[in-house]
Amino acid sequence: MRAPTAPRRVVVTGIGVVSPAGTGLDAFWKGLQLEVEPARERRVQDFDPSPWLSGKEVRHHDRFTHFAVAAAQMALDDCGDAPDVDPTRAGVQLGTGIGGVGTLETQVGVLAARGPARVSPFTIPMVMPNAGAAAVSLRYGFQGPSETLTTACAAGTHSVAAGARMVADGRCDVVLAGGAESSMTPTTVAAFTVMTALSRTGVSRPFDTGRNGFCISEGAAVLVLEERDAAIARGARIYGEVLGAASTCDAHHMTAPSPGGAGAAACMRLALDDAGLEPSDVRAVNAHGTSTPLNDAAEAAAVSTVFGPHGVPVSSIKGVTGHGLGAAGALEAASVLLSFVHRELPPTMGTTEVDPELDVDVVLAPRAWEPGPTISNSFGFGGHNGSLVLGPA
């Protein structure tokens, strides 16, 4: 039996973002600092897929796949001299919460109004959740693993973690990892509304006394993950390193978090163990921070349990981006990496009065900092928890 080898170190050398806060890294970072108009639905405005997809491709892909391909191309372009890699050792790990539900709802309407003969023959490949990953692999000829995780709102975080493990374990030399989502159809918005998950005011207020639900959104983020030594050898710019990750399940309720955030706390502790870090080593927490009463309280309790009351700065970007469901964790990982570059923690926009019952240090205005290990959390319906530990280059 061959002796196991030590895990390889994994770094991020490219980032691509499509977001309601802005498309492209400069626009995205700037957008995280800006007030937004109240809106329960936060869409990527004026998105034109034509720079990344032909007219035929646009017609044959769902909007969430448009986002995935655009973010992947931006991430590769951001690499500069892209890595020259054996295509059998290049992979894709792209999460989504729901997949091509926009296409599904449209084609259900076509079936009802015009009959089965008028349903698009591209319906299945447009709807399937793995369509984004498949399209990205096909575009670049990546013949390694091409996989999709659908763990609700934890999918983006889980996918970055899974992609990093492909590189760390030596299966791949390069992985495009992240998440994509576009699921604001009339049915899904109505469903979130009747379950009282959406904000009544169209304002996302993470950890605020007046928080009353999230603002649903869409978008995508893709990271280029490489083995550290190879990235250094080719002179790549390195945004940061994936230090560790963990995944747990509350096994408590289909939509509500476990009491006191026990599952989230366990997940963060496992991620720290995976990174070889102590809680005192962590310099910031990028919160899931959805602006729902139960989830913010549970996450705050978990952060306080692991790091101590007001023990570490906590910020959530969902006050601007809204909640991108399966794309959220990837977008938030991108924001953490950019906070390393800009040496600044983004503000928790929309929040004006932190709930005094929550023992966390919420970042309310841009805060200068010395970058260090940061935990990025994502929690999804079904009790899925994901924590990703990122460190500066």
Q: Are residues 53 and 201 in the same domain?
A: yes
pLDDT in tens, 310-344: 999 999 999 999 999 999 999 999 999 999 999 99
pLDDT at 1: 42
pLDDT in tens, 108-133: 999 999 999 999 999 999 999 999 99
**How many structural domains comprise the chain?**
2
Which stretches of the chain are DSSP H helices? 25-31, 55-60, 63-78, 101-114, 123-127, 131-140, 155-168, 186-194, 228-233, 262-275, 293-307, 318-321, 328-342
Q: Are residues 175 and 268 in the same domain?
A: no
d(Cα 159, Cα 373) in Å, to the nearest integer?
Answer: 19
Structure tokens at 355: 């709930």
Residue 5: inside a domain: no
Q: Are residues 76 and 165 in the same domain?
A: yes
CA distances from 202 to 42, 122, 177, 322 (A): 9, 35, 30, 10
User: Which has the higher per-residue pLDDT, 231 or 6?
Assistant: 231
Q: Are residues 206 and 317 in the same domain?
A: no
Catalytic, out of 61, 158, 323, 384: 323
Q: Is 323 marked active-site?
A: yes
53: confidence class by pLDDT, cuts 50, 70, 90: very high
> How many CB atoms sit inside 10 A of residue 356's CB?
7
Q: Which residues contact 307 (CB under 8 A, 6 or more apart)?
A: 279, 282, 285
Residue 133: inside a domain: yes
Residues 262-287: b if buried by 16+ CB within 10 A, e if exposed? bbbbbbbbbbbebbebeeeebbbbbb
d(Cα 8, Cα 168) in Å, to the nearest integer?
Answer: 4
Classify residue 84 as exposed, middle or buried by CB count within 10 Å of its CB (0-12, 13-18, 19+): exposed
- In this predicted structure, the answer to whether residue 3 has a pLDDT above a threshold of 60 is no
Residue 142: inside a domain: yes
Q: Under a CB-based contact definition with an 8 Å cutoff, are residues 361 and 314 in contact?
A: yes
pTM: 0.97
The strand pairing partners of 221, in sequence order, are 17, 179
The strand pairing partners of 18, in sequence order, are 220
Q: Are residues 149 and 293 in the same domain?
A: no
Q: Is 153 marked active-site?
A: yes
Catalytic, out of 61, 158, 288, 384: 288
Catalytic, out of 153, 172, 215, 267: 153
Q: Which of 213, 238, 218, 175 is nearest to 295 (CA)?
A: 213
CA distances from 43 to 23, 29, 238, 370 (A): 12, 17, 30, 33
- In this predicted structure, the answer to whether residue 389 has a pLDDT above a threshold of 50 is yes
Q: Are residues 285 and 219 in the same domain?
A: no
DSSP state of 116: G
Q: Are residues 188 and 257 in the same domain?
A: no
Q: Which residues contact 60 (CB under 8 A, 6 or more apart)?
A: 122, 125, 126
pLDDT in tens, 180-229: 999 999 999 999 999 999 999 999 999 999 999 999 999 999 999 999 99
**CATH at 331:** 3.40.47.10
Q: Is 288 marked active-site?
A: yes
Q: Which of 170, 230, 241, 168 is nearest to 391 (CA)?
A: 241
Q: Which residue has the tokens 């996989």?
A: 147
Residue 239: inside a domain: no
CA angle at 266 for the pair 260 and 269, rounded to the nearest 5°: 125
Residue 3: inside a domain: no
d(Cα 327, Cα 138) in Å, to the nearest integer?
Answer: 21
Domain span at residue 36 reads 10-233
